[in-house]
Amino acid sequence: MPRIPRITNQQILEAARQVFLQQGFGASTLEIAQQAGISEASIFKRFSTKEELFFAAMGIPEKPLWMNELESLYGKGDLKENLINICLQIMKFYHEVLPRIMMLRSRGNAIAELGGKEPKPMRDVKVLTAFLEHEINQDRLRPCDPQTVAHILLGSLMNYVFLEQMSSKVSMATAESRIETYLNSGDPATEVSAFVQSLVDIVWQGIAPSQD
């Protein structure tokens, strides 16, 4: 007798995404299980926590790729160029994630502070602040408040993506493609890369190391 096909992780995530978009993070895993046609216990055999299921369903990685890249850049290479490339990767991440967050909020489904964890935007600030602080301690940046610099960079990037998302002129897919092209080729001839380079140029004037 042939075995009955098991439901895939992707089918569970699709069911979870539908429920989360309707109800936000407060939706019950029991309702998600019913939507997927499985038992609630089956969900937790695949996903250890509700938080893990939520982020996977909404396509929000627990640790963005830009953070992995940042970890490899401590004290290495041309710092200004590093900041430009990291900011482009951060913008790519925001292009992927922000529309999903806005969709939840537009439906009245605010994202709670999951399990008492620190909100992810503040985590982003802390990660970039730690990197800048290390570079200051290595005399690769002028002494300054690294948290303020992190807020300026991240806030500007997020605001750019938000305004672009609100505009009908540029689709998110087109914007992501432009960033991907720059990251792969280094071609600066795009509006997005020009903005990032101008942003870093302006900030760099206040944080560049002394030439003495």
| One domain, residues 172 and 82 | yes
89 and 15 co-located in one domain = no
Angle, alpha carbons 127-100-147 (nearest 5°) = 20
Same domain (yes/no): 102, 131: yes
Q: How far apart are CA 178 and CA 176, in angstroms?
A: 5
Higher per-residue pLDDT: 101 or 150: 150
- CATH number of the domain enclosing 15: 1.10.10.60
Looking at every residue in the chain, the average pLDDT score rounds to 82
Domain identity same for 82 and 166: yes
* H-helix segments, 58-190: 65-71, 79-106, 120-137, 146-166, 172-185
188 & 88 share domain:
yes
From 41-50, 51-60, 105-114, 150-159, the region with the lowest mean pLDDT: 105-114
pLDDT at 150: 97
Residue 2 predicted with pLDDT over 50? no
Q: Could you give the count of Cα atoms lying within 13 Å of 105 in the half-sphere of its Cβ?
A: 8
- What's the pTM value of the predicted model, to 2 decimals? 0.72
Q: What is the pLDDT of residues 99-146, one digit of tens each?
A: 777 766 665 555 555 444 666 778 899 999 999 999 999 999 999 999
Contact (Cβ atoms closer than 8 angstroms) between residue 135 and residue 51: no
**Pair 130, 141: CB distance under 8 Å:** no
Same domain, 37 and 124: no
% of the chain exceeding 70 in pLDDT: 79
Confidence of residue 27 (pLDDT cuts 50, 70, 90): confident
Of 21, 98, 108, 102, the closest CA to residue 32 belongs to 21
| Owning domain of residue 23 | 9-57
Please state the domain count of the chain.
Answer: 2
Domain assignment of residue 2, yes or no: no
